[in-house]
Structure 1
Amino acid sequence: MAYHPNYHRCMRGIGRPCSIRTNDGRVYRGIITRVTPTHVYIRGFQTPAFRGGFGYGYYPGWGFVAGFVTGIALSAIVALSFFPFWW
């Protein structure tokens, strides 16, 4: 089975903080938790700028929220960079 070129880079980065830019312009920052042949799963440590939603009272809204895991397709990754430290 042929793997995507980013697969091996992501496998080496499991447990490391990183920044992933996708082909639609989104930027995800977090820690890589798991990698499959088609997706990379990242746990975020940055809250989104937009936290709105519909309803009464406090609602966290949609987006990339700290502590949640998001799956990103390996074919959608344009840039992948690792950070040597936490900021």
Structure 2
Amino acid sequence: MSAQYYYTHCQKHINHPVEIRTHDGVLHHGIVHSVDQTHVYLRPFDGAPGPQGPGLFAFGAFAGGFLGGLTGVALGNIAFFRPYPFFY
């Protein structure tokens, strides 16, 4: 799917819980905070780790795109997007 498709889809899910898997296998869980033309920004669920996947470790405030409480995911790298029907 195109980045434009995911941009529109993510815009519809601002403030909703979602699960996003990227083409490199990283799984992101959180609430869509905002979307721009290149990235979707997620607030991780309380107590949940940052991005999960091969070779990603959380150290302090930065972990593979996790900065200042938000995780930025490139729209062009999204392989799978699933809204949760309820909070995780």
Q: For 1:23 and 1:62, how far apart are their aligned partners in 2?
A: 21
| Alignment: residue pair count | 78
Q: Deviations over 1:7-62 (max 9, x none)?
A: 11000000000000001000000000000011100111112588676xxxxxx585
TM-score normalized with structure 1 length: 0.74
Give % identity. 33
Unaligned runs of 5+ in 1: 54-59
CA contact (8 A) 2:61 2:69 kept: no
Which residue of structure 2 lines up, in the alignment, with residue 29 of structure 1?
29
Q: For 2:81 and 2:58, how far apart are their aligned partners in 1?
A: 28
* Secondary structure of the corresponding residue to residue 63 of structure 2: coil
Over the aligned positions, Cα root-mean-square deviation in angstroms equals 2.6
Runs of 4+ displaced beyond 4 Å: 48-53
When Rg is computed on C-alpha atoms for both structures, the one with the higher figure is 1
Task: Identify the match of residue 49 of structure 2 among 47, 50, 53.
Answer: 47
- The CA deviation at 1:63 is 3.2
Residues 36 and 24 of structure 1, relative CA distance in 2, 3 Å threshold: same
* Secondary structure of the corresponding residue to residue 14 of structure 2: coil
CA contact (8 A) 2:17 2:83 kept: yes
Deviates more, 1:74-83 or 1:44-53: 44-53
